[in-house]
Structure 1
Amino acid sequence: MTFTGPMQALFSDLPVIEPRRSSGQAVIIALGGEQRSTLCVLRDGRAELLGEFGNLRDPNSFRLFNEAVNGQICAAAGRPVIIAHDLHPAYLSTQLAGRLAARRCAVQHHHAHVAAVLAEHQCDKRVVGLACDGSGLGNDGAVWGCEVLACHRDRWWRVGHLEYVPLVGGDAAALETWRPAAALLRAAEGPAWRQRFPAFVPDANHDRDNGRRLWPAAPMPHPSEVGPPGAGARSCPDRAALDLFERVVSMGVNAPLTSSLGRVFDGAAYLLGLCALNRVQAEAAIALESAADAHPGAVDPLPCELRSRDGKLLMRVAPAMVALSAGRRRGEPVGLLAARLHETLARLLSDAAVAACRDVGANVVALSGGCFANRRLRERTAALLESAGLRVLLPRLASTGDAGLALGQAYVTWWRVQRSAKRRREVVHVSGGAGSHS
């Protein structure tokens, strides 16, 4: 097939599985996530990653995506098809998978991020994966986003994560950066958090009028479009909004728990006066990285904690948010504070990965997820891991963000198929052996 427009191939024939291991039968079509969507088609041990289709909440993007999926099913020419997809039931890609007449394989979001790196590097050993992004549905129903995973082929388990904070307002917390800022301060300070919260963040580029004009308060319900873009977004909360925030947290209503590193960047950007509204994806994180780059020298980290709780590593970054707020009030340079936060996160992540490697018996760490598009965070974390004697794997061809999810899903699904086939062969062998003695 020849794809045009948004369906042009990013790259093709990416080696994923050694050809001699391929069954040469089932075709795996992985549907990726929902934003920056791609398809990965894995047949005969080789993968083709197709896209990007953009945000599937856009009706035209979803139509092209749907057509491409059906086209790949037809191209399988009668061979068995397995559809790999994300766990999140609200993703349109997941809903599409449920309507297709094919076997399905659900893959956890952050496992797929790490698996994409393993696929690129042909890594067939146990590794520790650092998967850091904005959001992905976790096995416990929380919104994951800063995960320490032990992975081998299709198997994985959670070794550690960023401390949970409430994502007040749900999807609105990814747009209005004051929400994660408030949640992180509250996690550190308790009821006294409002004393640390800025009464106003001067930011001419993110005033409330611009926010209403440019950003929706929630994702567009597809296929219908309701209301003008930008209705309801708030760049700076008033006293009533903060009172409501506190009540919502106390009641636990519309406040799912999250371990998202993306929201940490958002909250920090708000506290430093860099970005009040994410008008485009990752705008706050980009602003924070740019501010840090203005201070290229070595810096000291901010306070943070790495502890063990219930058998898992727990990373606490909320104390760093308190230090950021205090530093800003003292008039410390924004670039210095942003650089110190990056140093804090790099050290916290690398320390967690080193501890995880020791616990699970690994010496390789894979970095993936949209947060590692941040060059400063990626390079500093990798350098710290390498100085600890660990091998670091980074994405090379596939995206470190959600555009790489489909590759990871296809890789995991392939290994599940192989493991299932091996079990069937073992059952046949045992049954045959038992029959010969009857």
Structure 2
Amino acid sequence: MNTAPLPTVLACGAWLKNAACLLVDGAPVWSAVHGDLSDPAACAALEASVEALLAGHGAPIAAVAHDLHPDFFSTQLAVQLAASLGVPAVGVQHHHAHIAAVVAEHRIDGPVIGLALDGVGLGTDGQAWGGELLWVDGALWQRLGHLLPLALPGGDRAAREPWRMAASALHAMGRGEQIASRFASQAGEAVAAGVQQMLAKNLNCPATSSTGRWFDAAAGALGLSVRQADEAQAAIALEAAAARWLAQYPDTAPLRGAVIDTQNRLDLRGLMPALFDAGADGVDAAAAGFHLALADALADWATQAAQERGSRDVCLGGGCFFNGILRERVTTRLQAAALRVHRPLDKGCGDAGLALGQAWVAAQQLAATPQNISSKETEPCV
């Protein structure tokens, strides 16, 4: 980590639960949380907040940080603002920012291992990320591994309809021929058959490493959620089912079958047969076993990375860590491996605190190379 005084950086946040942050002498000055930038009122509030942050601080701004996604209003605002101020606009990858926010809040010195788990964030390869194992040392970072990607049949629609993610998991397991019959009653015969064909032909099926979409797949496989009216509705239903079971049977064993492949991808396909084949009486037990297996695999994955990289600090970020079962089990297992575990405190683990990570990364990058700051992150940045 660079030890020079950090420059003042403004960060405009991401799309969901947007908030802006001004980093002054390494300390955050926050705006209010504006909400999702799909709402024009939230966009207007972000503009007003940015103006207020700039007006309330006298020192010159060295850079304006933003998410890598070019279509976010927050990104476009940051680029415009940076141009007007004559300073760099610095793109920071979404999951790097999640882990950096934890590092900044806890003032951790030195490299860390990060588990960044959420619904989606644009990766440096243009793909949808969300189940990421990272190494972070200031502005330097590397994607060490990720969850095995699932296809999104129908693109963004799959994130709103967990049955589609369950269908995607079936296809990934080599059981794609079962999709039409299994989901006809939930989605309609024609739609279910259409999704089966989409997956078979890889038509309109972008890939994602998102942990949130694996939770959707698990909830869809167990019949806990077909369509989501609200964000994370399926994941919340899955956690509630697991919590009911664990309250009665706290010594439940995790499911078996999660493996790390030769590309250091965490492959969860082996957990899914127990969910698809669970009877009505086995839903809660399967949900619990899935949670425990996922948490154990994540902790073992991060522990191995910490040992290989010589780091004793592991940072947890991203909205999936609102899941209490996942968060506590991962933390307990990492601590049992003699690792120091750090979690977001002030703004929680979701996107509301992301701007701190954006600002911190840009400040670190500028302090290290003030004459050669990059407007985009590339991966790996080591």
Using the size of structure 1 for normalisation, the TM-score is: 0.79
Question: Paired residue for 1:427?
Answer: none
- Residues 247-291 of structure 1, C-alpha deviations (whole Å, 9 max, x = no match): 323443322110111011112122222222221111111111111
The count of corresponding residues between Structure 1 and Structure 2 is: 366
- Residues 55-91 of structure 1, C-alpha deviations (whole Å, 9 max, x = no match): 1110111111112123333444471341100011121
Maintained 8 Å contact 2:145/2:264? yes
Q: Indicate which of 346, 353, 368 corresponds to 1:404.
A: 353
- Residues 306-336 of structure 1, C-alpha deviations (whole Å, 9 max, x = no match): 2233xx41111122122101013xx333221
Query: 2:158 aligns to what SS in structure 1?
Result: helix
Maintained 8 Å contact 1:180/1:266? yes
Q: Percent identity?
A: 38
Maintained 8 Å contact 1:85/1:105? yes
Question: Paired residue for 1:308?
Answer: 261
Give the letter aligned to residue 325 of structure 1.
F
Q: 1:290 to 1:397 in 2, by over 3 A?
A: same
Structure with more relative contact order (C-alpha pairs < 8 Å, separation 6 or more): 2
Query: 1:148 aligns to what SS in structure 2?
Result: strand
Query: 1:284 aligns to what SS in structure 2?
Result: helix
Q: Distance in 1 between matches of 2:348 and 2:181?
A: 37
- Residues 344-390 of structure 1, C-alpha deviations (whole Å, 9 max, x = no match): 11011011111211222222111110000011100001111111221
More divergent stretch after superposition (130-139 vs 385-394)? 385-394
Matches within 5 A, 1:82-101: 82-100=63-81, 101=83
Matches within 5 A, 1:13-162: 21-22=4-5, 26-77=7-58, 79-100=60-81, 101=83, 102-162=87-147
Per the TM alignment, residue 199 of structure 1 is displaced from its structure 2 partner at its CA by 4.5
Maintained 8 Å contact 2:158/2:165? yes
- Residues 216-253 of structure 1, C-alpha deviations (whole Å, 9 max, x = no match): xxxxxxxxxxxxxxxxxxxx322211222133234433
Give the letter aligned to residue 306 of structure 2.
C
Q: Distance in 1 between matches of 2:181 and 2:303?
A: 33
Maintained 8 Å contact 1:196/1:326? no
Maintained 8 Å contact 1:306/1:313? no
Maintained 8 Å contact 2:167/2:176? no
5+ unaligned residues in a row in structure 2: which ranges? 374-382
Query: 1:111 aligns to what SS in structure 2?
Result: helix
More divergent stretch after superposition (271-280 vs 335-344)? 271-280
Q: Indicate which of 227, 235, 252 corresponds to 1:299.
A: 252
Q: Distance in 2 between matches of 1:69 and 1:154?
A: 24
Consecutive aligned runs of 4 or more in structure 1 exceeding 3 Å deviation: 73-78, 190-193, 195-200, 250-253, 421-424
Matches within 5 A, 1:390-401: 390-401=339-350
Q: 1:279 to 1:195 in 2, by over 3 A?
A: closer
Maintained 8 Å contact 1:144/1:260? yes
More divergent stretch after superposition (250-259 vs 137-146)? 250-259
Question: Paired residue for 1:218?
Answer: none
Using the size of structure 2 for normalisation, the TM-score is: 0.90
Q: Distance in 1 between matches of 2:242 and 2:201?
A: 37
Give the letter aligned to residue 358 of structure 1.
Q
Give the letter aligned to residue 216 of structure 2.
D
Q: Distance in 2 between matches of 1:185 and 1:148?
A: 25
Question: Paired residue for 2:311?
Answer: 362
- Residues 177-207 of structure 1, C-alpha deviations (whole Å, 9 max, x = no match): 111111111111244443883544xxxxxxx
Query: 1:52 aligns to what SS in structure 2?
Result: coil
Bigger radius of gyration among the two: 1
Q: 1:197 to 1:299 in 2, by over 3 A?
A: farther
5+ unaligned residues in a row in structure 1: which ranges? 1-16, 201-235, 425-438
Question: Paired residue for 1:351?
Answer: 300
Asked if 1:342 corresponds to 2:342, the answer is: no
User: What CA RMSD, in Å, does the superposition of the two structures yield over aligned residues?
Assistant: 2.2
More divergent stretch after superposition (260-269 vs 104-113)? 260-269
